Amino acid sequence: MRYLKPANLFHELLKSNTLASSRLLGLDVGDKYVGLAVSDTSNRVASPLAVLVRKKTNIDLMARDLQSLVSELSLGAFVFGYPFDRQKTSRDAVQVKLFIDDLCRTGELRGVKYTFRDECFTSKNVELLLQTLKFHPAQSKTMLDKFAAVGILQGYLDYVNRKNT
């Protein structure tokens, strides 16, 4: 996996004509779950996709699942939610970087490019919306993770599409 700055990722995909034939995957990395969202084929709208259970013992399985999604959905790159905190490195920020390092060590995602998008308040915003809907707690948690990933990816798509026009 290779990191690129947010605008550089989009421009590289544009230059290589990969963007026209690929989609983006948004990831919200948490302690126990990783929420996934995928863009439409025109890379304008993000939709919820799935939630993966995250354990130290299943990183190889997660990497294979993500590689399968790269193939099945024609994914061009990943957009990870990252808690940018100018004061200090937060536990959540370290967790995201460790997750990416673990994925890289598996060797399954060679060649996949990724970037970060500030995930500031994405989970909190979704939580506030879900409170009023009165879902079962387990169902609410998976929806929270998926829709937090949607918020991350949609924020990125809005940023690059606005910058690109």
Residue 28 CA to residue 34 CA, distance in Å, equals 5
- Name 144's Cβ contacts closer than 8 Å, sequence gap at least 6: 35, 123, 126, 127, 130
Rg (alpha carbons) of the chain, rounded to whole number: 15
Domains, the chain, in order of start with CATH, read 2-164 (3.30.420.140)
Nearest one of 108, 107, 109, 119 to 153, comparing CA atoms: 119
pLDDT digit of tens for each residue in the chain (165 aa)?
989 888 888 888 877 766 667 899 999 998 889 999 999 999 999 999 999 998 878 999 999 999 999 999 999 999 999 987 755 667 778 889 999 999 999 999 998 999 999 887 666 665 666 566 666 666 656 677 888 899 999 999 999 988 776
Nearest one of 78, 72, 80 to 24, comparing CA atoms: 78
